[in-house]
Structure 1
Amino acid sequence: MAIQGPFTIDCKTLFPLGCGVVSAVTPINDFERSTRENPVQSRDRETGLPMWSVDVIDFDPDARERTFKVKIAAEVQPIPPEAVSGVPVRPVYLEGLQMTPYIKEGGIRPKIAYSLRCSGLSAPKNAPVAKPDGGRTESGRAA
């Protein structure tokens, strides 16, 4: 039996150090139905909801891939969480996160890559907060 379709994964499992929004949330155009004069927004095949896109960055400094494009199926344009003072990107939690592996062609040889999609954006739960005591966070790690 082959496993089909996307895998559901918690945002904290995929991004243990967190992730942040680095672009605006934009509609994804349906290239088959759109024209130059009349862009048509793509819809999710399963739910029929409009599709949106946002770029996020992995906060892990050792991550091989740092930036990801995440597709969002939502009735209205998702709004990223409020900016955090002193942080150049907006920390985000990807609600209802799913990943789909695929073969990425190009380069010397093909490699496994992942497409990401979610159902919404929210502020991270229990996000570490920088403390004035030597840059330590609530988790005890250096900031």
Structure 2
Amino acid sequence: MALQGPIPVSFHQVFPHGCYVVGEVEQVKDFDASSKGRTVYAKDKTTGELVWQVAVMDADPTVKAGQKTVAVKILSPVQPVVPAALPGVPFVPVEFDGMTATAYVGQNTGRLAWSIRATAMRPPRSAAPAAKAAAAGKDVAA
């Protein structure tokens, strides 16, 4: 099979309506390598980069409430910085570059789930395509 490992995806494929930071950027712990009193931080198996994580809220109005918050893992040698907040907006809009998706079966649910990774976090360059079309009064086919 040709598909092996992470699948490259674009930001707008994962978050067509955009997303907002709702948590702090935290370094991911490697629970298998850590021991009592000694914390080891996760590194990406392919690149060797440190793994960071940030919680984001999907702005898609059709997503169920329990599925709105998603953890995005960022591979970076240094802690990524959340973009500056916009005046009058309660959450910080953000976009990710170098995104990949890896499917796995959730241990607790037995259902298909996705691990989302990126190589960079930045302020949005422009409105999401669906949001642009909605502002223009056009229908967008999914």
Same fold (TM over 0.5): yes
State the superposition RMSD in angstroms.
2.2
1:86 aligns with 2:82: no
Say if 2:44 is the partner of 1:44: yes
The superposition leaves residues 59-114 of structure 1 with CA deviations (integer Å, 9 ceiling, x where unpaired) of: 0111132111111110000001111112221101011111111122445xx32211
**Aligned counterparts, 1:1-143, within 5 A:** 1=1, 3-64=3-64, 65-107=67-109, 110-127=110-127, 139-140=135-136
Which one has a bigger Cα radius of gyration? 1
How many angstroms apart in 2 are the aligned matches of 1:26 and 1:9? 23
Instruction: Report the CA distance between 1:138 and its aligned residue.
Output: 9.6
Give me the TM-score of the superposition, normalised by structure 2. Answer: 0.83
Query: Normalising by structure 1, what TM-score?
Result: 0.82
| Count of aligned pairs | 132
* Whole-angstrom CA distance in 2 between matches of 1:25 and 1:70: 10
1:35-62, CA deviations, whole angstroms, 9 ceiling, x for partnerless residues? Answer: 3423121111111111111111100111
For 2:70 and 2:27, how far apart are their aligned partners in 1? 16
Counterparts of 1:16 and 1:62 in 2: how far apart (Å)?
Answer: 11
1:13–1:48 Cα change, 3 Å = same
**Higher helix proportion (structure 1 or 2):** 2
Fraction of identical pairs, as percent: 36
Compare relative contact order (CA 8 Å, sep 6+) and give the higher one, 1 or 2.
2
